A and B are shown apart, each in its own frame.
Chain A
């Protein structure tokens, strides 16, 4: 055992005391956090299989609501694409003459949500019907053409379901209109279903967030239990409860962050897998269909929220577990 000039005075020298007492609290705080963050990362790395399994479970739990979100977004996108081709048929009363039909078509054409209006005469309607199988004979039996003028109203691209519904109501209220056939009713039903789906996604996200909280909590609980001896030593040599707890809080943050990143990667993989079939479907609909991907803010928000969840789970459990161990 040797001695050096530095170690010949184990008792606090005046300079050492001064350094301790004047050390800026922020520096100590920063040192503590840096050490705790690194120590918790080392602990995760020291048991790679267990850590990866935990992160995988949490990542999958977070990826599921994201996958549902993607699915719904794409169904919505499909609905939008199909909805753009839908035409509203406005049947005029049989007493309406060509002049009235043209006038109404002009009025309707000035409506905000309308892209185009085509006037179909009763004769055109009769011709179309006569081409359909089974109608020809029946039509020959008629003395007069019973069909009215029909206005085919093409709504603007990207019109919302609410705006389309308002347009239909406006059309119904116009003078000379007998009936409005809204082939976009299915769209309203789809939107209603999407509303249910969106709510289901939120509920799923909340449930899986709770699952993440529980997984992190249980992992931290097991970790604290297995490190009871270490915690005892730390307390004996002067560690505060906050110091003892901090690595576990960082562990929660790491678990959350990594699982959030994994969830985003999985969701992007799902998005990538959808590109090719969506492209084929898009060809069918004249290139109007595009894959709805995850918005960029979500790519950042999911890992951040997962890290927050991990921290919360670790905080709740460590507070309880360390109080029990005290």
Chain B
């Protein structure tokens, strides 16, 4: 379970990205965080991955208070998360296979098992035939799917995605979101930051709406129109 309790984030210079934010995402739930640009969506995800620390309040993940995790504990926390980025963050000089394999290498998984899991993840996102290619030879949508394969290959408990469909055409965006929904059905907690309201409405999942860092609406899946 993800829990934000009175979380605020104020940057140097005084800009408050998040203010008194309190909400929970249950284990195995899928939720969208939405709002205009600058609403605090990305900051929220950064706090969850300990890329940044909150100025006030507490964040917990599966009961673990993130404030108590020191620098040396951050890699372990991040290995328990699957992260998908708008700009994919792929290593362009490595093949698709090598990119997806990275979390397993970091996890110390043996080569044979790595190969099996990477191919399974690539098959899941429909890129099994592309494993030997470099990311630069793929389309933006395909690159994003490589990013998703990398995020799921280590079977994380929680999947977070920051604008994962930001650069994709509507049809591809729906396909990507359907993938996330599929992962949720098998027990993964999924939290997606997106400003694509039509797409969010179409997915019919819970929506947390931010405005200038404040929580202005928390709409349950069944209430999404």
Residues of chain A whose beta carbon lies under 8 Å from any beta carbon of chain B:
1-4, 6-13, 16, 20, 23, 27-29, 31-32, 35, 46, 230, 232-241, 243
The segment out of B1-9, B13-21, B31-39, B152-160 that lies at the interface is B152-160
- Which residues of A lie under 8 Å from residue B89 when comparing CB positions? 232-233, 236
Task: Report how far A2 CA is from B121 CA in the complex, Å.
Answer: 10
- Listed A/B pairs (17) with beta-carbon separation below 8 Å: A2-B123, A2-B124, A6-B120, A9-B155, A10-B152, A11-B188, A20-B107, A23-B108, A27-B110, A31-B109, A31-B110, A32-B105, A35-B105, A233-B89, A233-B90, A238-B76, A238-B77
A32: nearest chain-B partner, CB-CB: B108
A10 to B190, CA, bound (A): 12
Contact B126 A9 (CB under 8 A): no
Task: Tell whether, in the assembled complex, residue A237 and residue B188 are in contact, meaning their CB atoms are under 8 Å apart.
Answer: no
Q: Is B183 an interface residue (CB 8 A)?
A: yes
- Chain A residues, CB < 8 A from B175: 1
Please determine whether A1 and B179 come into contact, CB atoms closer than 8 angstroms. Answer: yes
Chain A residue nearest to B98 (CB atoms) is A39
Known A-B contacts A4-B120, A237-B103; the reply to A16 vs B75 at CB < 8 A is no
Contact with A along B112-148 (1 / 0, CB 8 A): 0000100011011110000000000000000001000
Contact A7 B126 (CB under 8 A): no
Max chain A CB contacts within 10 Å: which of B79, B106, B121? B106
Contact B109–A240 (Cβ < 8 Å): no
B53 CB-CB contact with A under 8 Å: no
Question: Which of B82, B105, B123 is within 8 Å of A7, CB to CB?
Answer: B123
Which B residues between 12 and 55 are near A, CB-CB below 8 angstroms?
Answer: 28, 49, 51
Taking the closest CB of chain A, its distance from the CB of B224, in whole angstroms, is 24
- Check if B187 sits within 8 Å of A9, measured CB to CB: yes
Question: Which of B51, B110, B183 is in CB contact (< 8 Å) with A236?
Answer: B51
Question: Is A236 within 8 A of B155, CB to CB?
Answer: no
How far, in whole Å, are A20 and B116 apart by their CA atoms in the complex?
A: 15
